[in-house]
Chains A and B, each alone.
Chain A
């Protein structure tokens, strides 16, 4: 799992990475020139009469060189910007909406057919090779979605709509993170980005629009009842159940996700129980209240949640 602009796996990040290479060479060249001139000025032996005429000629050519260098880099930047804008042109993009909340990500896969729309959280699954258009919104303060392996960042601003274009070129599991300071738990606002083959993605989507499986064992059944009757259902939604809260992340396939609490902890039974038992000690300041539960109730709840694959 990586989160790095140095390992581009998307068309946009690749364009930017190439541009960075060019900038590095050109600016490196100028830096070297300055160092050489400075070194010469320091260690020059023969200090005869002042030769300002020669210096005046040199300063003129120096201005010319800088102008040329900056001009070249500016043009290169404009062309790169243009390539970024057209990187995914020609194919129908996958349309999504990401809404940022303090401190988690709501992820929706849009479809003309409303019944095929999928809502999930803190995880973006993408099919390889298909352009993606993500509409960005914020529910509270300004956030910024940064998936460095795939593309540059884009802010999510309340009252404004922005969007982010992606074109994944490699399968893999990447990490992304909020890049704009958004309050107390800004450091713990990450998400998983999983690029998979179109077939795997289609399978995932198909399963995601199905209702959640009914609880099978008595313990799972008890957990289901607890989730529906305690405060959980007031904030969270689970497909095909009476839980349809929208305040917190959708839990329809929570057990399928790689991490919990916006990338903060691995998704395992132990971590899940720790999270549900006391969300405030795991991630202080987040919106999830502590709901008192006996140990056996906690086990039942996590047993049920684990079925939400």
Chain B
């Protein structure tokens, strides 16, 4: 019998029916085949944090090496691999994926829908990301890790100056993360535009969703550039093309243009989701809607657009025409404006609200102070004359760690603290969290503030050692001490997560009294997210007097409500795919194909043949809304 949820079908009976429809198979098989965005999102987040820890350990090794001049602790070769792995892991395996992972978990809940769009693609995205990351790290342990930096400038990364397979491993890892990130972006855009709760018109969606929408479009436009760049590199190395070889009519700067056309937006792909975290946290703990919602949205959108017009500021020292540089200076300066406006709006929200000083809001304060400093040094390096001195010095190392740790990791840690009760049903421990904020703030600034000075005093980046007596010794030692303090704060955070998972205080549905829809359902949410699809009448639905719902989705099949893109008017009911093993198998076979194509171009051919059967079976047409005849009374 086909039944829909509604006033006469609610409560425990509905819960039982929906749980049966939306649950995964038990055990290992269920673990592998799951397409539940919450399970996939959780493991995505956990994996990203593992990579954060690994890359953090590499950072500590580098800091120990640099603690004193002429240190012989690790060889030049090892050091170069280590800093390449640190950057590559942090950028490709931690920062971008963790933001997408948080979105994969949160966006369907915030939108009031039962499942992310294209859930099998989502599962596939995770597996590809995992396999790509594991592949890179196994290669590193086997001493074939990348050696030419996370940026792999040619010709240093080309066949002549980087023989062996190290750079191929790096380039192929890019392919893995491209596939994973593009898949994620498509799902998130579709979910945000088509699966919003009824009435959640575009001017009512939470600011985090706006952030993710902008970010996902940026991924779609930025990733093809690096895809092209890394494919050219692989072709140069594997089949003897000459895209980057000036001796044969290629161009070494082509790489830099393509790489930074991706690489600069990449920074904002990491930062804009963090902006979304900050907005959600500030709103909840200031107990008022974020001040200047339209301005915040426009800021995010304009950052997203401007981010594509600044890539050349990474190339001020390459001798391109100065008139062109002027444009990129102006564009780089201009992006400080939307950033400054956002900062103002958050502070104004706190100023005019009734703030509760819980840990997530303390992370926001820590973020504002640190990020503003990074933004202001960003204004400095936007100027061509200053950049010619500061570029590739430790000043730049300081600058982008202020922006990336201050601007993205602090908000992320705040966000994990904030949504931890939703993820797990338990609160994170207090006052441990507050001490954690303080410790990380001190450790961070102790590490990175001195680097501004070491840079101005002439210390270049990416050196495995430096001579004594240059005035860099003490500053480097302080940075190293700071790095250990900062690492301790991260360990403390993970420790807090570990103890709170087991012994944390039970949270309830909405422990922070927040306004967005993810807090409407239980913590952690049931497999189907919401028993009835909510109707939204304002930007802060859970602070409204009434909480209407829209009934009518079938319960014995996986069904979603699809709404219109602008006004979120209920449009059609659509099927959501069931758990399936093919994404996992397809990911394994694709991994084999990708790794094979490091060694032979023919792997592209037989890899495609290998991939065909699982894709055919994955997409084998059937009607998922069809109800089995014995249950049908229609």
Contact = CB atoms under 8 A, between A and B. Distances in A.
B61 interface: no
Contacts of B318: 155, 157, 160, 162
A74 interface: yes
B379 A284 contact: no
Contacts of A309: none
A52 B294 CA distance: 14
Contacts of B352: 50-52, 55
Interface in A286-301: none
Contacts of B292: 55-56, 59
B319 interface: yes
Contact of A40 (B351, B384, B466): B351
Interface string A176-203: 0111111111110000000000000000
B476 interface: no
A70 B376 contact: no
Given A74-B333, A285-B76, A80 B385 contact: yes
B471 interface: yes
B322 interface: yes
Mostly helix, strand, loop or mixed at chain B's interface? helix
B31 to A, nearest CB: 42
Interface residues of A, number: 79
B319 A155 contact: yes
Interface stretch (A19-27, A118-126, A206-214, A239-247): A19-27
Interface stretch (A89-97, A143-151, A221-229, A250-258): A143-151
Contact of B333 (A28, A35, A56, A73): A73
Kindly name the residue among B318, B365, B465, B466 whose own CB sees the greatest number of chain A CB atoms within 10 A. Answer: B318
A67 B337 contact: yes
A38 B351 CA distance: 8
A268 to B, nearest CB: 16
Interface in B386-430: 386-393
Contacts of B383: 19, 23, 73-74, 76-77, 80
A37 to B, nearest CB: 5
Interface stretch (B38-46, B132-140, B153-161, B205-213): B153-161
Contacts of A5: 389-390, 393, 456-458
A74 to B, nearest CB: 5
B340 A50 contact: no
Contacts of B156: 141-142, 181-183
A84 B161 CA distance: 35
Interface in B150-201: 153, 155-156, 160-161
A193 B347 CA distance: 50
Interface stretch (B122-130, B222-230, B247-255): B247-255
A102 B161 CA distance: 10
B47 interface: no
A28 B376 CA distance: 8
Nearest to A65: B340
B323 to A, nearest CB: 10
Contacts of A66: 336-337, 340-341
A41 B380 contact: no
Nearest to B350: A41
Nearest to A49: B352
Contacts of B369: 34-35, 38
A52 B292 CA distance: 9
Chain B contact patch, size range: 35 or more
Interface in B561-594: none
A284 B74 CA distance: 13
Contacts of A236: none
B386 A77 contact: yes
B463 interface: yes
B319 A16 contact: no
B407 to A, nearest CB: 14
Contacts of B456: 4-6
A163 B322 CA distance: 13
Given A77-B386, A140-B161, A153 B392 contact: yes
A45 interface: no
Contacts of A30: 340, 372, 376
A140 B245 CA distance: 11
B460 A179 contact: yes
B529 to A, nearest CB: 33
Contacts of B463: 186-187
A73 B379 CA distance: 9
Contact of A52 (B291, B354, B385, B393): B291
A115 to B, nearest CB: 31
A107 interface: no
B350 A186 contact: no
B543 interface: no
B77 interface: yes
Interface string A5-24: 11000000101100110010
B149 A181 contact: yes
A59 B376 contact: no
A158 to B, nearest CB: 5
B84 to A, nearest CB: 9
A223 B548 CA distance: 96
Kindly name the residue among B373, B379, B466 whose own CB sees the greatest number of chain A CB atoms within 10 A. Answer: B379
Contact of B337 (A63, A154, A163): A63
Contact of A146 (B155, B295, B377, B460): B460
A160 B388 contact: no
Nearest to B391: A153
Kindly name the residue among A35, A37, A67, A179 whose own CB sees the greatest number of chain B CB atoms within 10 A. Answer: A179
A142 B389 contact: no
A13 B253 CA distance: 26
A159 interface: yes
B88 to A, nearest CB: 14
A235 interface: no
B317 A152 contact: yes
A27 B372 CA distance: 10
Nearest to B460: A179
Nearest to A163: B319
9 contacts: A4-B471, A37-B344, A59-B344, A153-B391, A155-B318, A183-B161, A184-B80, A187-B463, A187-B464
Given A16-B388, A186-B464, A187-B76, 11 more contacts: A2-B471, A3-B470, A20-B380, A62-B341, A81-B384, A141-B153, A141-B161, A146-B392, A154-B319, A175-B458, A183-B156
